[in-house]
Amino acid sequence: MADNDDNKKRSPLKSLPPDGFPLKTGLIWVAIIGAIVALFMLNPGKAPQPATLKIQQVVELAEQGQIATGFIQPDGTGGRDWSQVTGETKEAILKNETGATKAFVATGRLTDSNLELLQKSKIFVEKPATTAMTQLLLNILPFIIVIGLLYFLFVRQLRQAGKGALSFGKSRAKMLTRDKDRATFADVAGCDEAKEEVSEVVDFLRDPKKFQKIGGRIPKGILMVGPPGTGKTLLAKAIAGEADVPFFSISGSDFVEMFVGVGASRVRDMFEQGRKNAPCLIFIDEIDAVGRQRGAGLGGGNDEREQTLNSLLVEMDGFDTQEGVIIIAATNRPDVLDSALLRAGRFDRQVYIDLPDIIGREQILRVHARRITLSEDVNLSLIARGTPGLSGAELANLLNESALLAARRNKKKVEMVDIDDARDKVLWGRERRRVMDDNEKKSLAWHEAGHAVVQAVLDDGTMPVHKATIIPRGQSLGSVTYLPTKDILSSSKKKLLDRVAVAMAGRIGEKLVTNDISNGAASDIKQATATARAMVCDYGMSDLGPIALGDNQDTVFLGRDITRSQHLSEDTARQIDQAISEIINGQYQRAEQIVNEHRSALDKVAQALLEHETIEGRHVLEILKDGEIKSPIVMVRQPPRQPPEIGKPAPQVSPDAAGGGSPAPSPA
């Protein structure tokens, strides 16, 4: 019996809005269109002005055989025998105010003799008389129909408090159906801790009495916090799917309109819908759009947004959790939310959904790989290793791009090389086959060889070189990528210094072969400087001691302060600059020493890049160990573009990837 009662409680799904176009609305619009068409048919454009004649003149024209068509119609406005004769002549022999015309009209007393003469011509047709009321009705009927329908659509619907087209104050929350949009915990991967934390919400929605018997109170609201694309919305759908309850979804921006008070009205209506469909879940995505701190920014806060927030606070504070309605919100900016929204009793619990680790990435890849035909050589664990820092949405996009790439290459299955190429495309952009002269290509090859050799020498096994290439992608002309063996959660001073040395190695290799320097190392220098500054100001890894020197006050974006004060004296700032310079110059000399010691390996790596454009990390290690490349170089090659001849169009070359890669903390 209890199960039957629960099923009855969950029946409100039948009140879902229809998927198709409403029949009633369609019929109304058909009637409006028909009335407009009738209006134009019954009231045509201004016809040509007929010539005004006398009855006797019409009779004479009829006797002469000049009449083409004619009509006789009694006219009660002039008397008993009064009639109106209309028609056209065979030729334009008549005159009116604008010129010659065929049409005529004659009004007057039609005697019996004249009527007989007109009837003898067998041209004139008699019409019944029309009253003034009938004529008036025919003229104004279309207008009455149009005005009535417009009144029904707008005025009457507006009076019905939100059932019509102008229901601005009604909630825009969408109810997702159980069958079409159902999601479960099996569809969510990479956030096991978050799933465990919200699992008790599912237990509460399934069996509320289990918690009520011992006096437990389920949280009124759950705030999901995390970077974009980590699965906050999907996890909320999974909660509703596991509990088998209605799921209302709305965005924070849907509360705010151009009309005053609409946001607060929609908040009240949303909670009212939740009470009617209890037990259910109400999900507010991007709640920071309406829940920002009050009174923030220049000139005070937004009154309309603050009214909406106040209404949300009041509704959540008076919301009874025993009704079985739980509010779930998601945001990636919890720092801008109002403190009253985060207090206990409103959003009691915050669930942080972080970027997935190596195990989570593999689980996410397996979930999204269900819809893709993968080849036997695809190693999802290896792909998970090579995608640190990618969210679930980015991993899904990676597999989708690999499927599109494989389809363009006329493959029936997605291979590992397709996933590697798609990864490079997603991270750094599409491959660009630019025409470079020999000097530029030579300089680029030694530049990337410097990065690869120094990284291979300094690596302790946690960040081995995966690939070096001189194929331009995005904004970079070439790159050296690394494949971490594990997720790097923190970096030691030694690792940070190694990172600066690797960044400097590119310019050193370039300088050795060209005896000059170029702007190709601009991004390397910027990266090295940022790392060194963080070591000095944030990490306390300098002679200045463990002091936080880069602490700034909150920015105006958070609505708390305009200024950014660093509380540094001129002498301290000078010491910071000196410490940063010492780190960069010291690591430059260190990288230069490593390059000079392995000059032979540097030259061979650069020559291999010039020949093959892309080599793998194992080839770099083989050159450092054995002095030559022993394993084969297998690449998906594309012929280089040739400069077009004068007067001839440039040849069209289909884009193709040159080899797999992986994201690196510092691509060169």
Residue 532 CA to residue 657 CA, distance in Å, equals 35
Token readout for 394 is 């980015």
**Dist CA 510 CA 518 (whole Å):** 8
Q: What are phi and psi of 592, to 5 degrees?
A: -65, -40
End-to-end CA distance of the chain: 68
Half-sphere exposure of 200 (CA within 13 A, CB side): 13
Burial 441-469 (b: 16+ CB within 10 A, else e): bbbbbbbbbbbbbbbbbbbeeebbbbbbb
Report the distance separating Cα 546 and Cα 540, nearest Å: 4
Question: Residue with structure tokens 């990490």?
Answer: 539
CB proximity list for 51: less than 8 A, separation 6 or greater: 94, 95, 96, 101, 103, 104, 105
How far apart (Å, rounded) are the C-alpha atoms in residues 218 and 224? Answer: 16
* Identity at 71, one-letter amino acid code: F
Q: For residues 307 and 351, is the Cβ–Cβ distance under 8 A?
A: no
Helix axes 493-514 and 438-458, enclosed angle (nearest 10): 150
- DSSP of 535-557: HHHTS--STT-S------PPPGG
In sequence order, the 6+-apart residues with CB closer than 8 A to the CB of 137 are: none
Peptide bond into 279 cis (omega under 30): yes
Catalytic choice (242, 448, 592, 616): 448
Kindly give the pairing relationship between strand 614-616 and strand 280-285: unpaired
Beta-bridge mates of residue 74: 83
In three-state secondary structure terms, 78 is: coil
Which CA distances in Å does 586 have to 10, 16, 390, 493, 578? Answer: 69, 68, 33, 14, 12
- 448 is an active site residue: yes
With CA atoms as reference, report the closest residue to 504 among 517, 487, 488. 517
Query: Do 509 and 595 contact (CB within 8 A), yes or no?
Result: yes
Distance CA 578, CA 592 (A): 21
Active-site residue list: 448
